[in-house]
Amino acid sequence: MGYNIQAPAQPLQFATTQAAPGEHAWNELAGGECLSPYTDAWAQTYTVVACSTAHAAQLTARIQVEAGAWPGPEDLAAQASQVCQTSQAIDTSAAASYGDVQVQGSYAPDQETWDRGNTFISCFATRSSGQPLTGSLAPDGD
């Protein structure tokens, strides 16, 4: 009879500067990166492209959540839907010029991921029409 003793999970490392064009793991994006193609906010890898070219989506911001005990998926989902629509996460006037920008937030899906340091909400912008974005929708100052 064996026991499965798991070592403590390694902390996740997060980028602090924008990723250069190319393929990157989700935690290597700091916010502001333009992405193409784009599946959804929960992908494990993303292809970063220059924002001056047409692109499918943008990680407009990665927002630090108040750390502490894992709040649970419902609480994080509510926070994500709220914060990703504010000027903290997106250039609201640039987004309004398109008329069909939609935002989606991703966050730690479980306590283990939260405990490993994913205490962020990542905000992604796309267009409901499926048309590309050109330029950046990241908030000013990023």
pLDDT in tens, 83-136: 999 999 999 999 999 999 999 999 999 999 999 999 999 999 999 999 999 999
Residue 100 within any structural domain of the chain: yes
Residue 142 within any structural domain of the chain: no
Residue 11 within any structural domain of the chain: no
pTM of model > 0.85: yes
Structure tokens at 59: 């990680």
| Structural domains of the chain, count | 1
Residue 141 within any structural domain of the chain: no
Residue 41 within any structural domain of the chain: yes
Residue 7 within any structural domain of the chain: no
Residue 4 within any structural domain of the chain: no
**Residue 63: HSE in the Cβ half-sphere, 13 Å Cα cutoff:** 26
Structural domain containing residue 34: 22-127
Rg over alpha carbons for the chain, rounded to the nearest Å, is 16
